[in-house]
Structure 1
Amino acid sequence: MRIHPISLFRTVWRKINSKLFYKMVILYSLLTVIPLALVSTTFYLRSKSIFETRLLESRSHTLVETSDKIDFILKAVAENLEGYADDRVMISVLKNDRVPSTGEINLAERKSLESNLIAFLNFVLTNTDLGINYIDAIYLYNEAGKIYKTENATDPEFHLALTVLPFSQRDKPEWAFFVDHSRLVCSIQIIDYTTNTKLGYLSVMLKPEAIKELYASYPEGSFFITNNRNVILSAGNPESVGELFQARTSKQIVVNKRVSLYSGFVYFNVVSRSELYHEIIQLGRFAAWTTIASLGVVLLLTFVLLKRVTGPLRKLTMLMRKAEKEVFVPIKGIRSYDEIGILSESFNSLIAEVRDLIDKVYKAELYKKDAEIKAIKMYMSPHFLYNTLEIVGIIAKSPEGIKVVPEMVQTLSRILRFSITPGNDFISLKTEVQFVQWYMQLHQYRLGERLTFTVQVPEELLSVKVPKLILQPLVENAVIHGISQIMTTGHIEVLAYELDYDLILEVRDNGGGVTRQEEPGSIVETKDFTQTEAINEKKGLGTGLNQLETRIKLLYGARYGLEIIDTAGEGAVIRILLPMTFTEG
């Protein structure tokens, strides 16, 4: 059977046009000019070796100069710190902190010493060239953890880490292997040489911006200061501080490294290959232009084919980058049937599916969650107001109680003003505790000596941020379902403490124990904060606690919530687990 040449050509062309591999074979065949390839390769390798050696030597010399400049500043700071460590006022304060009776310092003298100490630290910071230009803050720590610091100094993050510094020489300062608020830390032990005892630590923290100025001539992202474990201590990009420096050895970058013999820091200079071979690229372009005349036809054909092949790929790459930023645009104008056409169709299908998921699932879940939180907030205020007014009404019926009604009304006005004031839904734990104390005072008016209460909240937790009106339902439950059910004196205790970097709030009472109800949707008694699923037959204490449980989980997730502990008829304990977050300021 004879095959027509035109039919054969169409068959072969269809085969080639359907496979990207065949297109690239044709392209590379057209570009294979052996003499030019040999000359260009020899020229490139020789020039590459020369320029690479020259640039790396230049970069290495620049790195030495920069590291010496930084080490000079670090050494100056350390030497000044060493001189400050012998300050008489500082040692007197620390000795008195260690043994309060030392030197028989009275309260007035103590205040005067502390005032002089702070003035000394502020003087160092504001009246020395190093302080003005490089030092961000100065801190003095005694052995008990108390901190003296310069004016407007940020609270340190990791002052306890100073205790694990090796301090190879007790009377010499040492640069820390960590940063505090992105600041380099230098610390020295304060020693009482008369008793050979350690009194505390004096630490200086440098301004991150001032250190960056020392290597500002480097392109962004090309200079890093790390510790000996490659943890980044200073870099042009603040977000990279604290991360592990990756000294990549791929063809894309070259790394120059120098270890400081003084501070122990490691200085890295990252050089991109594009910058390294900039000059050789220029020479390559010059060589290419000399061959354009003889290869004009080949280059024209190559341009046409490359544009046809890489154009859709560039367009698809651009749209994929937009998709990474949640801008979903389908690709258009692709009419080929090869791998690019298949990839484009798959991309368009993926974009359509993502849009559908966003519209039908993601947005729907956000609306649902927002509606649930608003519903809970709408419930909380009238529920609390009703119960509070009921207490006032009961007390006002007795002749003795009518005398305290004005005080109760004043307390009630404070409670109402707090509960209905619009604004932030999150407040400090200190404010929430104050509100609960007002609330329990109202119940004391009604129950008299039958109710006592205590609040135990450490001072360092008073600034923790909590949802508004989170303790009131627990206290209300303890009064109504606990204290009101017994004839003896009832006691309510409110506690707060930290556990595994989470905040625990507890309300304890010595009432009649947990009241068992068959209330669908109430809270499960559990010893595990991660068990949060609701079932129909559970131990419940009312709708208020159920709403509080739902509110916490909507705000923070399923890991957080309530835990109810029955103490076998001798009272009850209700705990709340919240993440540890602090208010600003």
Structure 2
Amino acid sequence: MKKQTLFVRLLTYIFPGILFLLLLVGFAYYQISAAAVKDLTEKKTSETIQQSAQFVSSYVEKLEQVSSSLAQSPILLGYIKTPSDGQVASLKSLMETLLNTNSDLVSATLVTKSGDIVSTEQNMTMQTSSDMMQEAWYMAAIAQKGMPVLTPARKNTANQDKWVISVTQEIVDEDKQNLGVLRLDIDYGTIANYLAQLNLGKDGFTFIINQQHEFVYHPRKTVYSSQADMASMEPYIAVKQGYVTEQIFVSQAAIDHSEWTIIGVASLDELASIRQNILRSMFTIAGLAFLLSASGLALLLRYWMRPLKDLQSIILRIGQGETHLRAQKKGSVEMVDLAQQFNLMLDQIDSLVQSVQENEQAIRQYELQALASQINPHFLYNTLDTIVWMAEFNDGKRVVEVTKSLATYFRLALNNGNEHIKLQSEIEHVRQYLFIQQQRYGEQLNYEIQELVAYGDYMVPKLILQPLVENAIYHGIKEVSRPGKIQIRVYEAKEKLVISIHDNGQGMDVSQKKQVTDSLVRQGGIGLSNVDQRLKLQFGKDYHMELESQANQFTEIRLYLPLHPQKGAR
């Protein structure tokens, strides 16, 4: 399974949290907003009903003032005291003037205690009517002792299809004795128009009742006469302030200057629409907020994590060998401290590595010196014996040649105390060695050297060829009766500098070759393993030795050296 980056993990962990918080806040906002809208609707409905009660109260107060003014009119009182045709005409003219100045007044009627009637209604006869004096509105006016009385809705006397309310008032003399009753019939026009404009929802409405729960006003006039419609209003009348159903809110308010109560029935169907709008808005805002916060957070995380990614890149490049690189000190305080400590650690590592390299170099020098000191000193003894032998035979010329060669041999071997030597000098050293050996073995030993001038200054550990040539003589050519020949070649192959030492001596079979190879692995002896070990110390993994041989045919040793030695190899 592919591992997720820190950036992806942070986004995976943080984004669901942001979404959850947005949904939680949105849900809380929705609940609070919905509750606030509901409370506002309730408050608005209650305030509307209160304002409507004040309006109706003012309206009723005005009607009562009109009724009281007419009841105390000298014209009306003059008619009652001395009825005459002239008084009747004056009274009717006064009544019609009132009706013309107030559009809500339908009719005005005076019934005296003797039963005489004066009315603006054309079909009401001017005669004594004991029946009218027995009607409820008349009796209610008498009972109030001269105060205006409001009646519930009733059918108009002149027009049975029209429902009106009435203001009735008893007319009394100076001694508070009954003179008659004045009735003003009022249309619903002003009240109906005002109440119809109230915003109580799609199915909301307002109606007015008195203390006996009789309907004074209702927008649906069938409630005045239909028992079923009256009964359907009882749940609203029973609730003073609250809910009848989840969507129906009722608010009641008493109307001053009357025994009426105005009842507002608010339909909260708009509340559901408002809630839907709030919910839709909430999801829209939450979605936009999530996208904006997610985008902003992603950019911010990228910005914050850029120093971390740069540090990761630096670490990977350092791991691939670019040890000179250092982390940039940027980003947050923690990242700056981390980069600073990381760079300090790298500096300490470099210091330790340099110290280790210096120690290894010193150890390598000691090892090279120790290995070089293992070279077989028998060659010197044998050479001196050869010189003595030549001197005994008075061969002075050869003595001089061999002595010079031996001097050159040791001068190159000593190399001014340096453990490394140029390749051309190392070949010259082995040439002197072969020359001296040829003086000993005569025609039994021949040699050929092919140098590569371009690599004459190539630095190698000293005394790496002489032990190999010595092995070729003593373990190869010396063991056969035919003339021996040693070939030394320097050439390029496989992007390596190759030094080959070939002899036509007795060679080795498979078992012998394996034994020699194993000795190289064990790094034993002072011949091949000595040279191999010293070259490994010098060039490391860039060097290797190959051995090829056939029994009674030849033996060839090839040293593969790097064309361009790394720093530290000399």
- TM-score category by the smaller chain? 0.3 to 0.5
> Which has the greater radius of gyration?
2
TM-score (normalizing by structure 2) = 0.37
TM-score (normalizing by structure 1) = 0.36
